[in-house]
Chain A
Amino acid sequence: MAATFPFELVSPEKLLFSGDVEAVLLPGAEGELQVMAGHAPLLALLEPGIMEVTGGPAGKQRVFIDGGFCDMNGESCTVLAEAATAVEDLSAEAMDEIIAEAEEAAAALEGGERDEANRRIATLRTVKAAI
């Protein structure tokens, strides 16, 4: 059995997960990254996407997060997500709603911000396809 480390997933509305896990796979802003026990201290921005927790008390868990950031301080890891929902609780309709909102927001933007918003929509679409 691999070494475990304390991990917490927090959204502004509540503490979603807290416990020892083996590994966490995260959608980082510069590509996917996996955090395991003993990972170097790291602060990373996260994109909207699906994160995967393995080796936790409930086995493998997949959670959709709508952007946020990850703070690994060498011993424990905390993910602060803007919004988070377990993949089992997520429906295609709910994703459609989020995408529609993002599109509406993108329409109001210009230039670089708009490109960014469009990238976000693209990621959201991939997430939808994945569930």
Chain B
Amino acid sequence: MPSLKDLKVRIASVKATQKITKAMQLVAAAKLRRAQEAAEASRPYAERMAAVLANLAQMTAGDPDAPVLMTGNGKSDTHLLVVCTAERGLCGGFNSSIVRKAVFDARDLMAAGKEVKFLCVGRKGFDILRRLFREQIVGLIDFKSVRRVGFQQAHEVGDKLVDMFEAGEFDVATLYYAEFRSVISQKPTGLQLIPAAAEVHASEEDTHAGNAVYEYEPDATDILDALVPRNIRVQIFRALLENAASEQGARMSAMDNATRNAGEMIDRLTLQYNRTRQAQITKELIEIISGAEAL
């Protein structure tokens, strides 16, 4: 049975925790709004990029000069999983659900006899993967010093990927991130980055002015050469922004839960405190009365 003083200390500490979780929830809510706006603002670019790329893909279909980044190098022996996670924890199952999806796919690939490598973007995913696949992690890119993810960061990741692909370090690259659905729902998603062909075919239908004869300056293959790496960056950028929004959403609901739990705990402890206090008063009264009766 805890003493009155113990209970008082515990109540105070839970109250302090509640204040922190409440503050974190509010901060996450404010950041979420900004992250969501950024994700929405990046959409027009990604959409138009996809349209142009689909158009070009049609024009150059079957062309042996088409960039290998788009058509792939014909092999699929080595898979690179690019796992994008947050820099910080305390956001519910956000990081672990992304990693779980990547690990699940990695096990499948390994069972099929493929070689699997990991590139971690964000510290938290690295921390988890390090324990499972220490040997297979080829790099970590963290944005600890970056306050807001911008196109510059996507650029870095994209360049690294293209360099690695050209050096023959992998054949297929897949990007893992959490797609932002709503504050309470973030869906871990895998997106194939290299080769990009599969993804382009899917968006072929919304090609505008499909039959227009385009003039190219310089020619179509040159443009495609320049465009495909750019598209990779744009996809990464979108993933990073989606991730940022998802992270804040996940943190917001996690902290909301934590605040509510702390509230329940305070109620329970306060009740116990009052009961104990009353019990003590009753006990003292009995002692006084029985003392008086004995006289």
Contact = CB atoms under 8 A, between A and B. Distances in A.
Contacts of A30: 217-218
A42 B215 contact: yes
A17 B90 CA distance: 39
A80 interface: yes
B231 to A, nearest CB: 10
B212 interface: yes
Nearest to A14: B41
B214 A13 contact: no
A28 B237 CA distance: 25
Nearest to B216: A43
A45 B217 contact: yes
Contacts of B218: 29-30, 45
A44 B216 CA distance: 6
B241 to A, nearest CB: 9
B39 to A, nearest CB: 11
Given A43-B214, A69-B226, A13 B208 contact: no
B234 interface: yes
B272 interface: no
Interface string B199-240: 000000000110011111110101100110010011001000
B42 A33 contact: no
B52 A12 contact: no
B186 to A, nearest CB: 22
Contacts, number: 78
A108 to B, nearest CB: 11
Interface in B70-115: none
A42 B214 CA distance: 5
Main secondary structure of the interface of B (DSSP, over half): helix
Interface string A33-44: 100000011111
Given A45-B222, A71-B52, A82-B230, A28 B217 contact: yes
A107 interface: no
B151 A82 contact: yes
Interface string B4-46: 0000000000000000000000000000000000100110111
A5 to B, nearest CB: 14
Nearest to B209: A73
B237 A12 contact: yes
Interface of A: 8, 10-15, 28-30, 33, 40-45, 69, 71, 73-75, 78, 80, 82-83
The 9 closest A-B CB pairs, nearest first, are A14-B41, A44-B217, A41-B212, A73-B209, A12-B151, A41-B214, A10-B45, A42-B215, A15-B44
